[in-house]
Structure 1
Amino acid sequence: MRIPLVERFWSAAPLLLSLASLFWAGNFVVGRAFGGEGTLSPVALAFWRWAAAFVLVLLLGGARAWRERAAIARSLPLLTAYALLSVTLYNTLVYAGLKSTTTINALLLQSTMPVMILVCGAAIYRDRIDLSRAGGVVLSLAGVLLILSEGDTAGLGALELGRGGGLVLAGVAANAIYFSTLRSRPDLHPMTFLVAIFGLGTFLLLPFWIQSGAAVPQGAVQLAGIGYLALCASLLALLFFNRGIALIGAGRAGVFLHLMPVFGSLLSMLFLDEQLRLFHAFGFALVLSGVLLATRSAKKSSSTAT
């Protein structure tokens, strides 16, 4: 049965991509609390996140995935590569990096992903980077830098990459390759695709979890954190972002990742009692302007093509 409201939501790329960025911003908050300063190691946090997410997608799409098992088997090497990049490597490296770098450093490095996606698209598929899209990336990146530097852009030079930053940057690069190559993914139902990469990614994490001590979440706070990561930052965020890429392309969708530091700042105000300051407003305006410029460029390209 077709539900018009659901269909409109599923076709609204800006809304889907913005929600994905919001959920992923929360991932950094939880990652810093548990993977950085809490009792769960980065590998344990990543393993339980994806194990729980795999159970969720099995409940929702397991029957369909079983019907498409022949197609999954034919595409197993490619699906394994996707799982390795996005599920196994990306978040594990980010959580490991958050042990020795700040959330601000991690979000700043995360904000380079749209640029990496554009570069990967140009390198792998020979995509053309037009001036409007490049301008949108630069404008939104300027807003990100303004927010992360708290209005003092001269202070950005004091941020050190270090080992933690290097791990985060490596994870961001892995995820950028994943997003930029989604156009080549197998012709599977979106839920079947998630069942496959969540299951394969969790399986690849299993030996590292065992080797790290096989820790399990304890207490209501850690269980709630794993629940958020599994449902919002894993299932819904990837489902929404993959759909957004299908609607407007990886390069244009990548600009929306600049919303992550914006949402991260807002989450810090909510949970850490920080005050809203003028640089937040200016930075947010720049980020939104960049996103709108890149999206406007996408719409013009689409209308010209038709």
Structure 2
Amino acid sequence: MPYLFLTLAACFWGGNYVVGRVLVTQADPMVISEGRWVITALLLLCLYQHQVRNDLSKIRKSIGPICLLAIFGQILFPLTLYVGLQYTSSLNASIYLSATPCMVLVMNKLLFNDTISKNNILGVLFSTIGVIYLILQGNLTNLSELSNINKGDLWAMASAMSWACYSAFIRLKDKSISGNAFVTVSAVLGSVMLLPVALVYFYFYPVSNLAHYTSTSFLLGLLYIAIFASWLSYLFWNKGIIDIGATRGQIYTHIIPLSAGIFSILFLHTPVAYFHIVSIVLIVIGIYFCSRK
């Protein structure tokens, strides 16, 4: 059962890339991000308020790390992703995400002085080459393209980096805080901290085409993100990790870019080029080396 939970969580997160790609054609990324976490926060408060109360003293002592994680996980990661999806494909964005295990490895070495083996170095090297190959679209002789990167790709890379920061800093959280309470507080903090930023943004860039925000397709997409990509995915992930441990469960993060790519091809009919395949292979090789003891 824990393997099913972890697989479903990763697939729900992968679906976020496809649904997000559709939603950004109808709505402003800021509306999507704020709406997502407001709905999720209200839902989780109704479900897990008792667990939050039980862990309230622990939460107060760890409010600094929790706020830091909320900034990276609830604000920067989804917001930069939705902005990027306006200009690049969900397939490209998911491939960038697949490089995050190697990013986390480097960050853990620089910030926490973790040991990096030769296999780890090889993994980072292969993954970096894979990302650069994707940026150049397979044309290694035209390095001038690095100065003309699609801005959507830059935002997608920023999103991947935000998730890497979240994954690296998760060790700072008090492990005795229950998973449900942690996710609930993170959702609340994310929605609250993003609100003033959203208000300033909307002051300079007023929301237009309000009809889009009441359409059935937009509301269903937002509900998918709130229920499946924000609530059930975290719930299932926590259950799976508790049962089999973080070390064995972490490998399931690799299903996220895989499922996102498959969903993008199936539902958005995203064309697959040879450089996509080569980039994926290089990044998978990098993940393999980083995952070895």
TM-based fold match above 0.5:
yes
Deviations 1:124-146 (A, max 9, x none): 21111234455566677888899
Alpha-carbon distance between aligned partners in 2 of 1:164 and 1:276, rounded to the nearest angstrom? 18
Q: Give the match for residue 265 of structure 1.
A: 261
Matching residue's letter, 1:269: I
Residues matched between the structures, number: 278
Q: What residue identity is the alignment partner of 1:260?
A: I
Instruction: Look up the match of 2:159.
Output: 171
- Of residues 224-233 and 152-161 in structure 1, the stretch that sits farther from structure 2 once superposed is 152-161
Alignment of 1:34-73 (within 5 A): 34-35=23-24, 37-38=25-26, 40-73=27-60
Is the CA contact 2:34–2:195 (under 8 Å) kept in the aligned structure 1? yes
Q: How far is 1:23 from its partner?
A: 2.0
RMSD between superposed Cα atoms in Å: 3.7
- Tell me how far 1:237 sits from its aligned partner: 3.0
Q: Percent identity among equivalent residues? A: 27
1:74 to 34, 52, 61: 61
Other-structure match for 1:225: 221
CA distance in 1, matches of 2:151, 2:277: 32
Say yes or no: does 1:111 pair with 2:98. yes
**3-state SS of the aligned residue for 2:116?**
coil
For residue 188 of structure 1, give the secondary structure of its aligned residue in structure 2.
Answer: coil
Alpha-carbon shift at residue 290 of structure 1 (Å): 6.6
Judged with a 3 Å threshold, the aligned counterparts in structure 2 of structure 1 residues 134 and 58 are, in CA distance, closer, same or farther, namely: farther
Aligned to 1:97: 84
Match of 1:27 among 2, 8, 16: 16
Amino acid at match of 2:83: A
236 and 122 in structure 1: CA distance in 2 versus 1, 3 angstrom threshold:
farther
Matched to 2:149, the amino acid is: L
Query: Structure 1 residue 279: deviation in Å?
Result: 9.3
Alpha-carbon displacement from aligned partner over 1:38-84 (angstroms, at most 9, x marks no partner)? 1x110100111111211232233111102222222222222111111
Deviation per CA, 1:150-185, whole angstroms, max 9, x where unpaired? xx8448976853433333322322221111111120
SS in 1 for 2:213: coil
In structure 2, the residue corresponding to 1:90 is in which secondary structure?
helix
Does the 8 Å contact 1:108/1:145 carry over to 2?
no
Measured after TM superposition, the shift of residue 95 of structure 1 is 0.9
Question: Are 1:122 and 2:109 an aligned pair?
Answer: yes
Structure 1, gaps ≥5 residues long: 298-306
**1:189 CA displacement:** 0.4
The residue number in structure 1 matching 2:172 is: 184
Which of residues 210, 225, 232 in structure 2 aligns to 1:236?
Answer: 232
**Structure 2 unaligned runs (5+)?**
none
Taking structure 1 as the reference length, what is the TM-score of the superposition? Answer: 0.74
Which protein has greater RCO, CA pairs closer than 8 Å, 6+ apart?
Answer: 2
Letter in 1 for 2:10: S
Please give the TM-score of this superposition, normalised by the length of structure 2: 0.76
- Give the distance between the partners of 1:178 and 1:221, measured in 2 at CA: 30
